[in-house]
Each structure stands twice: as structure tokens, then as C-alpha cells.
Amino acid sequence: MSAQSWSEFELIARLTAGLPSREEVMVGVGDDCAVLDVGGRRLLLLTCDSQVEGVHFTLRTSSPEEVGHKALAINLSDIAAMGGEPRYALVSLHVPRGCPLEVLEGLYAGLREEAAAAQTLIIGGNVSGTGGTEGLALDITLLGEIERGRVLTRAGAHVGDTIFVTGWPGESAAGLYSLLYPDYPYPPTACERLRSVHRLPRPRLAEGRLLSELGPQIVTALIDVSDGLSGDLAHICERSGVGACLEVGHLPLSPELRALAAASGRDPLTWVLHGGEDYELLFTVAAGYEATVQARFAAAGAAPITPIGQITEAARGLRLRWPDGHEEPLAVRSWDHFTSPSRD
């Protein structure tokens, strides 16, 4: 049996089952970052991710600088999804034969700019060849910190909590669609903005910090939307042992996303629910604290947040409630490296 016979998440579970741990490992496999208690005032956050040419990006639709920006941004988003602050990055490049030097310099220009914007230092890494493999790849390991008592994970949601999301999920998927199918009569302004969202995601670091300041008694669970809203909500529900009901009429659809969907004849809800690579923050708030959280975001001038549903009993599973009141199961169509098509 090949590894590709398993889903990505089944394979992770199989490979990591029974891994040994130690008392300093506060959060291990199964969240956006590992959390280590190594002494001192703050806890250590660690995450890593890869970008592979032909799977995550292509230089036909993104510049080397944009690929560098995005490669670091998605790791920064993992730190944001724990409420932490990024500190240090290690970058490994896997370079195919004949790769132009200008491409690598462009990648590093994007990495440098993204790191500077996040006050993060690139402190090392590795460069290797790829042998006979033609695609370029980047591996990034990112270290961050967070105050004791402020770690936010996927595992704390309770029945009755309100589900919130930052920004406008689905925009990255819409931007990617316009790149892959460029012949529709897209509105130029909307098209360019959504393509920029896809190519240059903005990790919600300030918003993650704001949520961590509110603390886990108010913000009960947190994840970034990398695999799609439905899939990442399912991760929260699985780790928390709960179900969820999303209000279709409350899902935020930006004007640009609506315009692109109309031009291409696509259902915008498909992008919103299942698109992925938004790197927005999806979080749950304890009942009675919704106005407090909304007021804090407004006062800080942070990204807009929208209440989109409720946490329910696990037995109800994941559901959608339509404006007329009828409900239906929410199918989870999460991004999966072994079953999903290339993102670029």
C-alpha cells in the first residue's frame, strides 16, 4: 500500500501514533504549533511548513518574490493561530539543476521583506540539490513565543460558544480560480485584488495577539484557515469534542468575491466554505463575551470579525443553517495533499 492510499490527516495520525513525549511538551502533534515550556517567562512555539513547486505554487502565476513572501507568511499564520509572536526562522531551499540565480534571489527578497514586516529574524537553514527532481521547494521552521496562560489551541471550544472569523474567507480560492481560468470577463479591479490576496496572504498576527490578550476563558479555541473553513472548523470540533452549526446568511462574502463568482458562474459559498489558503483566523468565544470581543477588535482597528455560527453537541456533527431556518449537514472538503488537486 502506498502512502497516497491514505488521506493526509490519516497518514499524520498513523505516523505519529505513540510518539514519546516529555513534561516540557505542553502541546504536541495536532495543533498549529508545538508549545514547549523551557523555563522562563514565556513559552516557546515551533512550527514548520513546505512549499513545493507544482503543488503549492508555480512561477507561471507568481513571481519568485511573491513565493518567498507567501512561504514565510503561512508559517507566521501558524504563530498567529496560537496567539503568539514570531521570533526566528530557518529556511531550507531544495534547488533543481539549472535553476536561475535570479529566482533564488527573488525568493530571498520576498522572505526578507516578510520577515522584516513581522519583526522576525532569518537565522539559518540549508541549501541542497534535488537530484533528478525538477521542482523547487522551500522548507521553513519558525520559532515564536507567548506568555504563560495565554496559549490558544484548537481544543477548548464548548457547547454554546459563538464561532467568529476574521476578514473574508474564500478570497484566496477565488483569486486562484481567476489565475487558473483567465479567460472569463472578470471585473479588473476585483480580479486583481483577489489575485493579490492569493499571492500575498497577510498573516493575522496582530489579531492573534489581541485574542491571546483576551485569554482562553473568553477565546476558547483558535485556528487559522489554511485548509478551508469547513475543514478547519472540523479540526476545532474534533479536538474539542463538539459539533457546530454555521449560519449561511452570516458568512462574510466580499463584493470582489461576489463579482468574480458572478462573472465565472461559480457559487461563492463553495469558495468561502472550502477554498482554503485564506489564513484568516477562525475562533470561538464563550457565551456572553461576544460584544466584548467585537468592541476590542473595533477599538484596536483590527481586521473585521463576523459571528458565523454556534458550537453544538458533538452528536449533531457539522451543519449549515439557511436563512429560511432549514438545516443540512456541512460536508467537509478540506485541502488534502494526497487527494486534492494542485493549488496553483
**Can you give the CATH number for the domain in which 281 is found?**
3.90.650.10
d(CA 182, CA 199): 15
At 337 the pLDDT is 43
Residue 104: domain span: 3-147
Residue 342 located in a structural domain:
no
Please tell me the chain's helix, strand, coil percentages from 3-state DSSP, rounded to the nearest 5. 35, 25, 40
CB of 211 within 8 A of CB of 82?
A: no
d(CA 332, CA 230): 5
187 plus 93 within the same structural domain:
no
pLDDT tens by residue, 97-133: 999 999 999 999 999 999 999 999 999 999 999 887 7
At 26 the pLDDT is 87
What is the chain's mean pLDDT, rounded? Answer: 92
pTM (two decimals): 0.92
**The total number of structural domains that make up the chain:** 2
Flag whether pLDDT at 231 surpasses 60. yes
At 167 the pLDDT is 98
318 plus 221 within the same structural domain:
yes
Q: CB under 8 Å to 95, separation ≥6 — which residues? A: 104, 127, 128, 129, 130, 136
pLDDT tens by residue, 250-274: 999 999 999 999 999 999 999 999 9
Q: Closest Cα partner for 56 from 137, 174, 133, 128? A: 137
